[in-house]
Amino acid sequence: MTTPEDTRFQSEAHEVLWLRAGEQRLGLLPTLGGAVAAWQCGTPQGMVNLWRPWDGGTDLYRCASFAMVPWSNRISGGSFESAPGRFHAMQPNRQGEPYPIHGDGWLQPWQVAEHGPAHATLVLTSFEHGGNPHHYEATQRFALDAEGLDQVLTVRHLGTEPLPYGLGVHPWFERTPRTRLQAPVQGVWLSGDDPIPTGYSTQLPDDWNLSAGIEAHGSFIDNAFGGWAGTARIEWPERGIALALHMPGFDPGAAADARCCLVYRPPRGDAFCFEPITHPIDAFHLPGRPGLRLLQPGDSLSLRMRWSVHAL
């Protein structure tokens, strides 16, 4: 189902599945990595983008959002160890990236398990994609209402031996000159020339201080933050709207290094990222593997998000 406003998202290769509720509409791309094409909301100024919309191409980085499963961000070293002496080789999976990044769910087509006017469930069964060791079933559930979006990402381990798993979502937010982001955190993983962590600090530069709020434009950030409280708020004063994130089931008592979010604020471009994640960058090689979950055969891990739209 499309309307005249949807024509920019039409593609011969990938059909958009549209959900609608009140002034909200969400476009899904099941066959393009189970990604999101657009999330838009009606305002007195007209329809605005809550996530930067898909450009119609095949680069998932130009979609509005995509799921990261069975891990988020990068794994350094070309392998990881699931048990003493049990190494698993990993291959880079994006041009220009030296490390495997964002899992492999985003690189495969998903199936529409069910949908209605305002909800949909996408499912992926993945067996050692690209030589990766993970065999799993992943599910994305989207439920749109007049006030916002409920989003759940779940992975179930189908393999015969335990493996570490992690999850995340990768939305891109349009940035206007006055866009701001606020999220309560306690520290940040620092890095060198690449985003692989070199240490953790509770001293945040002023324009990295998520707890106080930061501008969407500023110094370069591509870092995971720890001690996250599980909430966030993005404001677009020019548009008179804000988007608030709440994580149902989030455990504020968990170890600080297992309560993570990630910010990607490039020096140029039309968007920035705020990513709810279960573990920091390269957690496979950090002491204690913070935030990763060792799943036994049949075990599951979920990430639950409630995005709410508010007027300023």
Cis peptide before 70 (omega within 30 of 0): yes
CA nearest 123: which of 115, 107, 112?
112
Close Cβ partners of 112 (under 8 Å, ≥ 6 residues apart): 17, 30, 120, 121, 122
pLDDT value at position 195? 86
pTM of the model: 0.95
How buried is 95 (Cβ within 10 angstroms: 0-12 exposed, 13-18 middle, 19+ buried)? Answer: exposed
pLDDT tens-digit readout, 125-170 = 999 999 999 999 999 999 999 999 999 999 999 999 999 999 999 9
Q: What is the pLDDT of residue 194?
A: 84
Both tokens assigned to 102? 């964002």
CA dihedral sign of residues 176, 178, 181, 187? positive
Q: What is the mean pLDDT of the chain?
A: 93
Residue 293: pLDDT above 50? yes
State the virtual CA torsion across 96, 101, 102, 104 in degrees, nearest 10: 100
Q: Tell me, what's the pLDDT at 2?
A: 37
Q: Residue 38 and residue 160: Cα distance in Å, rounded?
A: 37
The answer to whether the CB of 226 falls within 8 A of the CB of 256 is yes
* In the chain, % of residues over pLDDT 70: 96
Question: What is residue 8's predicted lDDT score, i.e. its pLDDT?
Answer: 63
Q: 85 versus 219: which is more confidently predicted?
A: 219
Strand 241-246 to strand 293-295: parallel, antiparallel, or no bridges (unpaired)?
A: unpaired
Q: What share of the chain is helix, strand, coil (3-state, %, to 5)?
A: 10, 45, 45
49: which 2 tokens? 């983008």
**pLDDT(1) > 60:** no
Collapse the DSSP code of 178 into the 3-class scheme (helix H, G, I; strand E, B; otherwise coil) and give the result: coil
Q: Virtual CA dihedral for 281, 278, 101, 215, nearest 10 degrees?
A: -70
Enumerate the β-bridge partners of residue 294.
Answer: 164
**Does pLDDT of 10 surpass 70?**
no
Whether 5 shows a pLDDT value over 70: the answer reads no
Band the pLDDT of 24: cuts 50, 70, 90.
Answer: very high
Q: Which residue has the higher pLDDT, 281 or 45?
A: 281
- What residues pair up with 28 in beta bridges, in sequence order? 17, 36
Instruction: Give the pairing type, strands 187-191 and 24-29.
Output: unpaired
- In whole angstroms, give the CA distance from residue 70 to residue 99: 15
Per-residue model confidence (pLDDT) at position 250:
83
Using DSSP's 3-state secondary structure scheme, residue 246 falls into: strand
pLDDT in tens, 107-118: 999 999 999 999
Tokens matching residue 310 = 């508010």
Confidence class of residue 7 from pLDDT cuts 50, 70 and 90? low
Report residue 287's pLDDT band, with 50, 70 and 90 as the boundaries. very high
Look up residue 147 and give its two tokens: 């006030």
* Residue 40 or 92, more confident: 40
Query: What's the rounded Cα separation, in Å, for the pair 207 and 120?
Result: 38
Pick from 186, 181, 192: which is nearest to 225 by CA?
186
**In a 3-state reduction of DSSP, which class is residue 193?**
coil
Contacts of 57 by beta carbon, 8 Å cutoff, 6+ apart: none
